[in-house]
Amino acid sequence: MNLGIISLSLCQALLTTGTILLVSVMALIGQKMAPSNEWTTLPVAFQFIGLMCATIPASLIMNKIGRKRGFSLGNVIGISGALFCIQALHNESFWLFCFGAFLLGIAIGFGTLYRFAAVEMCDKGQQARAISIVMAGGVLAAVAGPNLAIFSKDIVNDAPFVGAFWGLFGLYVIALMVLTTVKFPPQVVHHPDTKIRPIGQIIRQPIFLVAVAAAMISYTVMNLLMTATPLAMHGHGFSFSQSALVIELHALGMFIPGFFTGHLITRFGTVRMMLVGAMVILACIAVNLNGQSQLHFSIALFTLGVGWNFMFVSATNLVTNAYSEAEKPKAQAANEFLIFSMVTLSALGSGWLEASLGWQVMNLLSIPVILLAIVVIFYFHTKELIVLESR
């Protein structure tokens, strides 16, 4: 695998370290600053609204100015978001904190395209492995994110969690420096007569529908349960360091499979790996429903991460077969928008669901959603509307 993909993996690791740090602290900051319990995860929701709003512009902007400048712009926005959050925590301003979270979401939205950039840099037939390696960069993040949150929580006197956002500031600065070393492939200039299908026609392809459904559902359920876990653990008397450790295990589950998911997809096929991922997420829910001990939370969240990885990496690999090079900007934009619009809704609802319905009901509601993904995958595959194993 070439050096550029390794560098993108490091950028992904830095981005994900910041994202996991935010998962560890955002809901708890919201719990402290929000006007009511129902608004506890509103900063998380603003983060995902920013992510959703960035999905379409990020892809189109990179098509105009190139991957390197586009990713650099995303990191600059992330630096701005971290500074706004720092100021908000000093001033105890909930709404300014939400605005900072919104900017951080935009930065993450640009960063979601690292995996597609890796596909463009790899040799033909190595797409799944390239995606998997970039996602595997999150293993570093799995350890660094929660520990950075614990270490930095009280590093600034009389301002809890401010240190976490100074750490986030540093991560975005390092990512900017790494990007200067990456040599992206030159942009492809298409002939004016190149045929480009309407976006509606691209989206209606069964292969696109299956990929989006698998990615959307896996990410939505994962985000819903992940975001609510620190709140559920706090409600059962666990400390911040205990919930941060569970988030660390969850992140390890998300990214350790990245070292071999690409090989599994090549060997067993995209459909099988998506279905295995769905079954693993159902196993996570079963553990959550069985108890609320530290061990239950740890096993469940690790399992949730593994299931998400299998489904999301497989779906990303699949969707790259749904469009031509000339259709790439708008097809990737549509893919990201559809996925993260639903993830945003899960972020908006997670705090309310945990506060009003409770942890176990949240898990029960997740079961039919995962079953829907299984039905969609089976339907299109058994109808032979898509031929996956030959790709």
Average of pLDDT values for 336-341?
88
Tokens of 223: 């985000």
Res 379 pLDDT > 50 = yes
pLDDT the model gives residue 384? 46
| Contact yes or no for 53/336 (Cβ under 8 A) | no
Residue 351, class by beta-carbon neighbours within 10 Å (0-12 exposed, 13-18 middle, 19+ buried)?
Answer: buried
> Between 32 and 220, where is the model more confident?
220
The amino acid at 278: A
Residue 391 has pLDDT above 50, yes or no: no
Long-range pairs for 94-98 at CB < 8 Å and ≥24 separation? Answer: 94/30, 94/33, 94/34, 94/35, 94/43, 97/29, 97/33, 97/43, 98/42, 98/43, 98/46
- Burial class of residue 206 (count of CB atoms within 10 Å of its CB; 0-12, 13-18, 19+): middle
Can you give the pLDDT at residue 190? 63
CB 97 within 8 A of CB 89: yes
With a cut of 70, say whether residue 189 has pLDDT above it.
no
Structure tokens, 241: 């360091």
Average pLDDT over residues 217-233: 88
pLDDT tens figures, 75-129? 999 999 999 999 998 888 999 999 999 999 999 999 988 888 887 887 776 777 7
Distance between CA atoms of 275 and 281, rounded to whole angstroms? 10
Is it the case that residue 173 has pLDDT exceeding 80? yes
CB distance 168 to 18 below 8 Å: yes
Question: Which range (123-127, 236-240, 330-334) has the least confidence?
Answer: 123-127
Which residue segments constitute the domains of the chain, with CATH numbers given? 3-186+199-382 (1.20.1250.20)
Contact (Cβ atoms closer than 8 angstroms) between residue 284 and residue 225: yes
pLDDT in tens, 277-321: 999 999 999 999 998 898 999 999 999 999 999 999 899 888 888
| Most trustworthy range by pLDDT among 45-54, 303-312, 376-385 | 303-312
Q: What average pLDDT score do residues 348-367 get?
A: 84
Burial (CB count within 10 angstroms: exposed 0-12, middle 13-18, buried 19+), residue 124: exposed
Confidence at 196, pLDDT banded by 50, 70, 90: confident
Q: What is the C-alpha to C-alpha distance for residues 119 and 111, in angstroms, rounded to an integer?
A: 14
Q: How confident is the model at residue 340 (pLDDT cuts 50, 70, 90)?
A: confident
Which residue, 32, 25, 30, 14, is CA-closest to 162?
A: 25
- Distance of alpha carbon 346 from alpha carbon 267, whole angstroms: 33
Question: In angstroms, what CA-CA distances link 382 with 201, 210, 313, 390?
Answer: 22, 12, 21, 15
